[in-house]
Structure 1
Amino acid sequence: MNSRVQKQTFQIRDARLTDIEQLPAIELSAAQSFRSVPGLAWIATSETIPEEAHRSSIQTKTCWVAVDTADTPVGFLTASVKHKDVHILEMSVASSWQKCGIGKALLQHLKHWALRKELADITLTTFQEIPWNAPFYSKMGFVILTHDELNQRLISILDREQAHGFPEGSRCAMRFDLRRITD
């Protein structure tokens, strides 16, 4: 079998507790893209999402993995539900698997899951100018929220991110309105 065809073959499934140990390596692999971004190279070696956050998402069934043909995780999306919203905590795809449609597939999976749960919105915070961040999510139907549209939860997240070292004004909150989906 052609290695490129095999490489592009993946499925999305619920994450399992046994997947937790592989998720930080995927996140670090994905973060290597930031090495080429002036002022953000430090992200490539920063801490990953704590294991406990993944465990919580897996236990509440809000963590999904993209797996290769050997059922090995190569990407993930972990989220949390707050009221009628689901918030993406992290979505990462291993660098060797990027540009294979995994990010889009994970978001589509999340949208369908959130619709079944009768949630209203999907939210996230991300970099405004990095091509694989806000511009990618915009193509997927997310909109950047103005300051007046932010709720206290999103304001707090953005404040924590700035305190963590993200440059002021570099991050934004985005929302996907699930009521827009009619299929």
Structure 2
Amino acid sequence: MTEEGAYRIRAGRPDEVEAVRAIEMAAGMLFRSVGLPEIAASAPSEVGEVLLRARAGRLLVTVDAADRPVAFAMFGEVDGTLHIEELDVDPDHGRRGLGAALIARIDAIARDRGLPALTLSTFRDVPWNAPYYARLGFVPIPDGDLGPGLAAIRHMIATKGVDVAPRLFMRRPVADGIEAK
């Protein structure tokens, strides 16, 4: 992957739930710097939700040379796409291509499943959110074009008290070659 193989991606295990939640909390703290302290103060994903994803093969972790998780992605099928539910990198391991590598792996999973695209929900103006994903080939989905599953996710985000106005959904076609972009 990066740094001469110092990191690798593998399936997340049930015994790594707390490590995943700690990464989510650490990554969330970055939102203070962009005026979103409520995101920084948010609780991480529920233990049961992370555990469910690990057991269902819907959790990928990037591990360091000592096999400790330093980044993760949770995903599932929504509206005929592979939807990235959460993707976080421990800030101590940021800016090393770990997020892009996780997306490339999810892209390969989608391709293997015959799914045409990846989707995600993100903040429109946070530099490491929508602008970052746009550099990786994601484009905004107009609210009127959201399928029922993505619309339900938007509603769920709102019921958690998160202002949906600065958020958007994005989509990227699955790469059709062996190497994902």
Under a length normalisation based on structure 2, what TM-score does the superposition of the two structures give? Answer: 0.90
Counterpart-to-counterpart distance in 2, 1:147 and 1:21 = 34
Deviation at 1:165, TM superposition (A): 2.5
Matching residue of 2:176: 181
Counterpart-to-counterpart distance in 1, 2:106 and 2:95 = 19
Counterpart-to-counterpart distance in 1, 2:60 and 2:69 = 9
Which consecutive unaligned segments of at least 5 residues does structure 1 have? none
CA distance 1:85–1:46, change in 2 (3 Å):
same
2:159 pairs, out of 159, 163, 177, with 163
1:89 pairs, out of 85, 89, 106, with 85
Secondary structure, aligned partner of 2:18: helix
Given that residues 124 and 168 in structure 2 are in contact (C-alpha distance below 8 angstroms), is that contact kept between their aligned partners in structure 1?
yes
- Matched to 1:138, the amino acid is A
Matching residue of 2:62: 66
Matching residue of 1:29: 26
- Matched to 2:176, the amino acid is I
Secondary structure, aligned partner of 1:87: strand
Under a length normalisation based on structure 1, what TM-score does the superposition of the two structures give? Answer: 0.89
Counterpart-to-counterpart distance in 1, 2:82 and 2:21 = 22
Given that residues 32 and 95 in structure 1 are in contact (C-alpha distance below 8 angstroms), is that contact kept between their aligned partners in structure 2?
no
| Superimposed CA distance per residue, residues 61-112 of structure 1 (whole angstroms, 9 cap, x where no aligned partner) | 1210000000000000011123632111110111101111110110011101
Q: Does 1:20 align with 2:10?
A: no
Matching residue of 1:149: 145
Deviation at 1:157, TM superposition (A): 1.4
Figure out how many residues of one structure are paired with residues of the other and give that number: 176
CA distance 1:70–1:166, change in 2 (3 Å):
same
Secondary structure, aligned partner of 2:137: coil
**Correspondences of 1:117-136 after superposition (within 5 Å):** 117-136=113-132
Counterpart-to-counterpart distance in 2, 1:164 and 1:21 = 22
Q: Does 1:54 align with 2:50?
A: yes
Which consecutive unaligned segments of at least 5 residues does structure 2 have? none
| Superimposed CA distance per residue, residues 14-35 of structure 1 (whole angstroms, 9 cap, x where no aligned partner) | 1111111211100000011111
Q: Identity percentage over the alignment?
A: 31
Q: Does 1:106 align with 2:114?
A: no
